[in-house]
Amino acid sequence: MSQLAFITGATSGIGRATAEALAAKGYRLALAARNGEKLEDTAEDFRMKYNAEVTVWPLDVRDRDAIRATADKVMETCGVPDVLVNDAGLARGLEPYGETAPDDIEQMIDTNIRGLFLVTRAFLPAMLERNSGHIVNLGSTAGLYAYAGAAVYCATKAAVKTFSDGIRIDVIDSDIKVTTIQPGIVQTAFSEVRFHGDKARADAVYEGVDALQAEDIANVIDFVLSQPKRVQISDVVIMANQQATGFMVSKKKKS
């Protein structure tokens, strides 16, 4: 039987691109996201293109009970995932911390930290019992290099990095691998979500920059997952060619 990948945030951006890359490799997919309609459309697309075996799991990773129930159903119907990709995450706003809306603070913490932690907790015991599995957590260069207006977001991504390191220590006697993927500027719907749907402001983030694409990150994840059993890639930092550290990006002037 082919390997099973459970992917959160699977209907857009890096999550969707990763799911497609794995579908092309013959993985069975269990895709989770909040929007059930988009999940069904995504699954049908992969079935048509790759004849992929796909199940969909509408899930808000901020809901602890829903996480537990979903994980139990996935393992009962599909089996224990060979690969867990924790992609669900977001940024909100780009103002000084003293002006950040409390709702935005809570949403970033609940999604980027709490949700990722609890999804991992829901599957890890079964992986340990089977003594195999690969956990891939989507961090960010923001977790390595803080930048103005993003104190909370940067802190959540730093938490992803240290959380992954801690799990790697906890499972050192097993055959479970843990990888943190830390992308820089990637042109997805990320900025539009950050700016609460302000597309013009979001588009300006990528003007003059040959930004990374979601497929670039998916290709790296595919490479990480394809390594032999003896190889564990703990961290990968990926930046655009004109990006140095975090928010330091060189933009070309319009001619």
Sign of torsion, CA 179 239 8 26?
Answer: negative
To the query of whether residue 157 is one of the catalytic residues in this protein, the response is yes
Q: Which of 25, 27, 73, 157 is catalytic?
A: 157
Is residue 145 annotated as part of the catalytic site, yes or no?
A: no
Joined tokens for residue 75: 């393992």
- Bridge-partner residues for 83, per DSSP? 5, 134
Question: What is the spatial distance between Cα 105 and Cα 34, in angstroms, rounded to a whole number?
Answer: 19
Q: Which residues are catalytic?
A: 153, 157
